[in-house]
Structure 1
Amino acid sequence: MRRDLYEMKGFDEINVTPLLDVAWTLLVVFIIAVTASVQGIKVNLPKASNTPSLVKPKTKAITIHANGQLYLDAYPVTIAELETRLRQFKAVDPDFPVVIKGDAKIYYERVVAVLDLMQELEITQMGLVTQKLVK
């Protein structure tokens, strides 16, 4: 008798608890995936006076690690690969900005080689990244 009563009445509401469990799980996975993405190569930047930020959208970052390794947007490259990729970017957007982040302990010669490459490719939108000087 009780079974007949249920079959006739039906369900008048939906249980959304499993749906909320899935939504929360997806939210947590998304948050972890976004925060775990590579934010760049960590280098010890030299200190400078207060200067405005040069980072703009579509800015390419060239990082020179303390061991001398070159990175273009967190991807390791050689100077020849750097030249090839920068030529490709320049073909798409002639005025794309570039920032150079050099570790404070690298030889100045490595930075000069990158600056010479920028001059050779006629990249004029360029800046050097430093840390704010703490007084």
Structure 2
Amino acid sequence: MQVNTEAKPYDTINVTPMLDLAYVLLVVFILMTTASVQGLSITLPKPSNKPSTEHHELKIVQVMPDGALLLNGVALSMGELESQLQAAHGRDAQMTVAIKGHTKARYEGVIAIVDLCNKLQINMALVTSRIGT
């Protein structure tokens, strides 16, 4: 039996393990980046099987494409809207604000209304509709 004592130098480097490591690091980076994205904190209402016999005030706030705010069809500024909602909340603590954003309105206008309702501790609902209706 003869043993080859002469070692041949390698001409190429096997990059497969290095690519495997790079792909694993890429996946970990993507997962950690998307996990750190934060959203809005909204408390959702609890469902109830009982029919509601109580009637509370409902205010509809519309956010228009030009940034205008409408409260039940009447144009208001953000300060006037806040005072109107505070007064309505003082009359009825269980009132609800329905937020209806126009499809071409900037999303920051809707978020400003959500933040205002959270600040005033008012119940809110987001109005949605099917596209084309």
Normalised by the size of structure 2, how large is the TM-score? 0.55
* Structure of greater Rg: 2
Pair 1:101 & 2:100 matched: yes
Counterpart in 1 of 2:124?
126
Task: Give deviations 1:84-105, integer Å, cap 9, x for gaps.
Answer: 0000000000110110110111
Q: Matches of 2:110 and 2:71 in 1, distance apart?
A: 14
The DSSP-based 3-state class of the residue aligned with 1:131 is coil
CA RMSD of aligned residues (A): 1.8
Worse-matched range after superposition: 94-103 or 125-134? 125-134
Query: Which of the pair has the greater relative contact order for Cα pairs under 8 Å at 6+ separation?
Result: 1
Task: Give deviations 1:43-79, integer Å, cap 9, x for gaps.
Answer: xxxxxxxxxxxxx763100001111100000000000
Aligned residues: 78
Counterpart in 2 of 1:80?
79
Counterpart in 1 of 2:69?
70
Unaligned runs of 5+ in 1: 1-55
Counterpart in 1 of 2:111?
112
The one-letter amino acid of 1:71's match is: L
The DSSP-based 3-state class of the residue aligned with 1:132 is coil
Over 3 Å counting, the alpha-carbon distance change for 1:110 and 1:133 in structure 2 is: closer
Q: Matches of 1:119 and 1:110 in 2, distance apart?
A: 14
Counterpart in 2 of 1:60?
59
Contact 2:56 2:92 in 1 (8 A): no
The DSSP-based 3-state class of the residue aligned with 1:119 is helix
The DSSP-based 3-state class of the residue aligned with 2:86 is helix
Unaligned runs of 5+ in 2: 1-54
Give the ranges of 4+ consecutive aligned residues of structure 1 lying more than 4 Å apart after TM superposition. Answer: none
Identity percentage of aligned residues? 33
